[in-house]
Amino acid sequence: MRLQKYLALAGVASRRRAEDLIRAGRVRVNGRVIKVMGVQVEPGQDKVTVDGQPVTGPERKYYLLLFKPAGYVTTVSDPRGRPKVTDLVHGIPARLYPVGRLDYATEGLLLLTNDGELTLRLTHPRYGVTKTYLALVRGIPDANTIQHLRCGVKLEDGPTAPARVNLCRAGKDSALLELTLREGRNREVRRMLAAVGHPVLRLRRIRLAFLTLRGLKPGTYRHLTPHEVERLYRLVGLKK
C-alpha cells in the first residue's frame, strides 16, 4: 500500500498529516529517507520509521464521540498549557486525534479517533459531511439576513457555501439560530454571523452527519457502535 496510507492506518497521523511528515523528510523506509508521495510499502516486510521511531503497522481503531466543553482546545498539544480535549479521555491504549476542530469557546460534538483515513474524508470538503450548530447571537436577524446566511456570506477567504439556517427562538435582544453547513473553515460559523451583524454569544455543535449528543453531558464521551462506524464509512465511500 502507499506509504501515507500505511502511516494513517498505523495511527501515526491522518493521511494529510502523514504526507506532511513525508515531505519534511521525517519518514524512512528500510533506512532510506522518503520525500515523495506514492512510494509503496509491504506491511510486515518493509521497515518504516518516523523520526527514528519504528512504525509497527495497523493498530486497533478507536472511535469516540465526545461532548466537548467550552474552555478546551481541540489539539493534542498546546504551547500555552490550556486544557486539551484529549485530557478528557482515559484508558484508551492509542493516540487519538480530533476529527476537525471546535474553537476554545465552542462546545459540542467532537469525534476522536486513530483512524486517519476516515478522519481525512470526514473533514475534506469533497465529501460534504454536514455539521449542525446552535448559535445564540446578539440581536434578532430579520428574514433578509437569514436568507443571506442561507445563500452564502462573503468572508475574507471567499464566500461561504449555501447553508441551512433556521430561527429557533427570538428574545428581547438575542436569538437562537440552527445552522447546518457542509464545509469546515476555521471559525466559520462565528465569522459568518459576525459578518451579518449578529456576533455569537454562545455556540454548540449538536450534530455531525447522523450523530448527536444524545445521552452525553459536557466532558463525557462514548464509543461509537460498530453500526455507526459502518455508516460513517459508507457515508464517505470507504469499505469497512
Rounded Cα distance, 65 and 134, in Å: 18
* Best CA proximity match to 12, nearest among 96, 87, 76, 91: 96
Q: Which three cell numbers stand for residue 109?
A: 460534538
3-state SS, one letter per residue, for 36-101: CCCCECCCCCCCEEECCEECCCCCCCCEEEEEECCCCECCCCCCCCCCEHHHHCCCCCCCCEECCC
- Among residues 78, 87, 103, 157, which one is catalytic? 103
Beta bridge partners of 125: none
Q: Which three cell numbers stand for residue 12?
A: 501515526
Whether 20 is catalytic is no
What burial letters (b/e) apply to 9-19, b meaning 16+ CB within 10 Å? bbbbbbbebbb
Q: What is the DSSP string of 159-171?
A: EPPP-EEEEEEE-
Three-class SS state of 238? coil
Q: Which residue has the cell 496510507?
A: 5
**Residues known to be catalytic:** 103
